[in-house]
Amino acid sequence: MAIINGCLEYDTAIVEIHFQKDHADCAHCYLLETYARKQCRRTGEYIVDDRTRGIWCPLKFISEEGEVKDG
């Protein structure tokens, strides 16, 4: 195990992001950074087309039936 800045353990948190129906894309995501270039705050990926989701988008969506599915 590598020690980074003297920290040996990390806590993991899960956050919910709510999208309007049919608007689950980078343009409507709170994780989109838009200062100089569009970039995902979570993955660091540069977003070329914010009307879709990035290749490395980690979001999982819950269907109306309650099933969890990848973006």
Segment 48-71 mean pLDDT: 87
Q: What is the pLDDT of residue 55?
A: 93
Does residue 1 have a pLDDT over 60?
Answer: no
Q: What does the pLDDT read at residue 56?
A: 94
> What does the angle CA 54 – CA 56 – CA 58 come to, to the nearest 5 degrees?
100
| pLDDT, tens digit, 9 for 90 and up, residues 9-56 | 889 988 889 999 889 999 999 999 998 999 999 999 999 999 999 999
Per-domain residue ranges for the chain?
17-71
- Token readout for 71 is 């973006």
pLDDT at 8: 79
Per-residue model confidence (pLDDT) at position 28: 95
Q: How far lies 31's CA from each of 9, 18, 20, 63, 67, in Å?
A: 24, 12, 15, 21, 23
